[in-house]
């Protein structure tokens, strides 16, 4: 079986985009897991599947590198929107895209950037979900012999935000997987390690659920902006510096929605024989 794909990235958070409208593929999770390998496959953090939708302009399904399916991807939805616009699948400047986290609206703006309405942040612990009811702010959690104070937010997918003195010096590879799989998070979690620079700027590294450390995470940047604002450390509009670049995040006072603005780049197109990769 041959698959046509497009390799894309948002700030180095990279994707395999497949147009599967009107097409079904068996064993997709296993295929994604094999093709995500950076030595023996295409190599990517997530696979983004473009499908038809009865509720919106398109539907986006998301699979992590380990083959698990997830609810939402901020960098990914910008890439899918650019994929649609570049190929003329829809020519209007604003698109509605169905995800497991609901319908999201993205728009093309000046400078080749894409702005996404990421919806309202969820702060109720039972809905994030975590094993605690109510808002989870500075909650004590132990992992790897270290005590953390975690603040949890859902942007359609679960996030655990932790303040650190320096993102450069923090051992993300050690503590990221321990926190991702901590029993406090029944569906695992994405983990953001955040350094506050000032009221308008933060620096972030991320350990993504099912993918490991990535160069950027759009929903993670949104969750970090929300968490640091709730803690009184930042304004509602912040620039988030990630290893792959920067995102502008605004938590609107008017509608309580979080808006994310950033780039989406196409790297190359290709065709791969899935059977030859076994």
Alpha carbon of residue 8 to chain centroid: 14
Q: Which two tokens stand for residue 129?
A: 């979900």
**What is the Cα–Cα distance from 130 to 100, expressed in whole angstroms?**
19
What residues have CB less than 8 Å from 35, skipping those under 6 apart? 16, 41, 42, 44, 47, 272, 274, 277
141 and 85 Cβ atoms separated by less than 8 Å? no
How many whole angstroms separate alpha carbon 107 and alpha carbon 116?
6
User: Which of left, alpha, beta for 88 (phi over 0: left; psi -120 to 50: alpha)?
Assistant: left
CA 146 to each of CA 119, 177, 258: distance values in angstroms, whole numbers, following the listed order: 33, 14, 32
217 is catalytic: yes
In order, the DSSP letters of 74-131 are: HHHHHHHHHHHHHTTS--SSEEEEEETTEEEEEEE-GGG-EEEE--PPB-BGGGTT-S
**Whole-angstrom distance, CA of residue 209 vs CA of residue 48:** 16
- Catalytic option among 59, 160, 217, 222: 217
By CB neighbour count within 10 A (0-12 exposed, 13-18 middle, 19+ buried), where does 73 fall? buried
Q: Which of 73, 152, 160, 222 is flagged as catalytic?
A: 73
Active site residues: 73, 217
């Amino acid at each position: 079986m041959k698959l046509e794909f497009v390799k894309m990235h948002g700030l180095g958070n990279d994707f395999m985009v497949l147009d599967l409208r009107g097409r079904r593929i068996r064993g997709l999770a296993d295929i994604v897991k094999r093709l995500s390998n950076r030595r023996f496959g295409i190599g990517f953090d997530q696979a983004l599947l473009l499908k038809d939708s009865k509720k919106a302009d398109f539907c986006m399904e998301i699979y992590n590198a380990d083959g698990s399916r997830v609810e939402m991807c901020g960098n990914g939805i910008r890439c899918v929107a650019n994929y649609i616009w570049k190929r003329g699948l829809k020519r209007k400047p604003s698109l509605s895209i169905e995800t497991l986290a609901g319908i999201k609206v993205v728009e093309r703006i000046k400078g080749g950037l894409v702005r996404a309405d990421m919806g309202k942040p969820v702060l109720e612990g039972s809905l994030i979900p975590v094993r605690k009811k109510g808002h989870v702010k500075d909650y004590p959690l132990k992992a790897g012999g270290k005590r953390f104070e975690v603040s949890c937010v859902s942007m359609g997918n679960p996030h655990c935000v932790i303040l650190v003195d320096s993102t450069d010096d923090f051992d993300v590879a050690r503590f990221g997987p321990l926190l991702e799989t901590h029993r406090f998070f029944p569906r695992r979690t994405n983990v953001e390690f955040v350094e506050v620079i000032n009221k308008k700027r933060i620096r972030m590294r991320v350990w993504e659920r099912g993918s490991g450390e990535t160069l950027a995470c759009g929903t993670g940047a949104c969750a970090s902006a929300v968490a640091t604002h709730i803690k009184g450390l930042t304004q509602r509009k912040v620039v988030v510096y990630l290893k792959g670049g920067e995102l502008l995040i605004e938590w609107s006072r008017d509608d309580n929605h979080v808006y994310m603005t950033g780039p989406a780049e196409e790297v190359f197109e290709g065709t791969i024989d899935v059977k030859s990769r076994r």
